[in-house]
Amino acid sequence: MIAWQDRVESAGARVERCFTDAAGGVSAAPFTGLNLGAHVGDRAEDVERNRRLLAGALGLERDRLVFMNQVHGADVEVVNGPRSEQAQPYDAVVTTEPDLGLVVLVADCTPVLLADPVAGVAAAVHAGRPGMTAGVVPATVAKMRELGATSISAAVGPSVCGRCYEVPTEMRAAAAAASPVSATVTWQGRPAIDVAAGVVDQLSREGVEVTWVPGCTRESADLYSYRRDQRTGRSAGVVVLRRDT
């Protein structure tokens, strides 16, 4: 269930970050395991049970998990508590509210978890190729700074690697305009994009400290991959602000 997890602590405040895999959960094939995506054709009751399992593993009430209406854009939403999942489309959510789990769902795209525990600001970002190219990551960092963040760290989760993400030449050129290091080639030497490398580059340019969690979704059987399987589930990245009492 929890494939990677860490905690960032400072001045009596802490942030918990994690990335899930497909292990555990109740979903049946082809979503086998802990599918957290409600939009992929899985049984609604199974997805809800999986989400409750995730909330329990994080010590949260189910309604404290905040899911996005992701559309591969660059818009950022500020949330202060639980809200309807039928909200306006956003690909990043930011909060200053403790014990609120911000969730990003992925099956090849790059999940990004951002936090400044001292300022009490956290964010979750869905950075696929269109979002990375459109600047969703720097837009989220800017919004966090508007809310008082001054020392931001990021966890960048597993995604499809550049060697597995073949694209047309013009698409690679568009990504390279946003981040030159994102332009790469596949195992066969054909044009490709390394979205995560582009995201890490953008974060570094913003002065954000980065922890890059290894793993290629297409190459890892324990991770959901749309490119590999087409009809598949969704893994999650979750970030939670905590306050000591």
190's CB contacts (< 8 A; 6+ apart) are: 166
142's CB contacts (< 8 A; 6+ apart) are: none
Residue 192: per-residue pLDDT: 98
Residue 85: per-residue pLDDT: 58
The per-residue pLDDT for range 165-204, each reduced to its tens digit, is 999 999 999 999 999 999 999 999 999 999 999 999 999 9
Share of residues in the chain with pLDDT > 90 (%): 93
The closest alpha carbon to 127, from 138, 117, 116, belongs to: 138
Residue 86, token pair as written in the block: 């039928």
C-alpha distances in Å from residue 147, one per residue of 7, 90, 122, 236: 21, 18, 10, 25
* Banded pLDDT at 46 (limits 50, 70, 90): very high
Residue 76, token pair as written in the block: 């950022």
Structural domain total, the chain: 1
Instruction: Output the average pLDDT for the chain.
Output: 95
Share of residues in the chain with pLDDT > 70 (%): 98
CA 198, CA 194: separation in Å to the nearest integer? 6
Domain that holds residue 142: 2-243
CATH of residue 215's domain is 3.60.140.10
pTM reported for the whole predicted model: 0.96
Mean pLDDT of 34-63: 97
Residue 82: per-residue pLDDT: 85
Task: Report the b/e string of 58-88 with b at 16+ CB within 10 A.
Answer: bebeeebbbbbebebbbebbbbeeeeeeeee
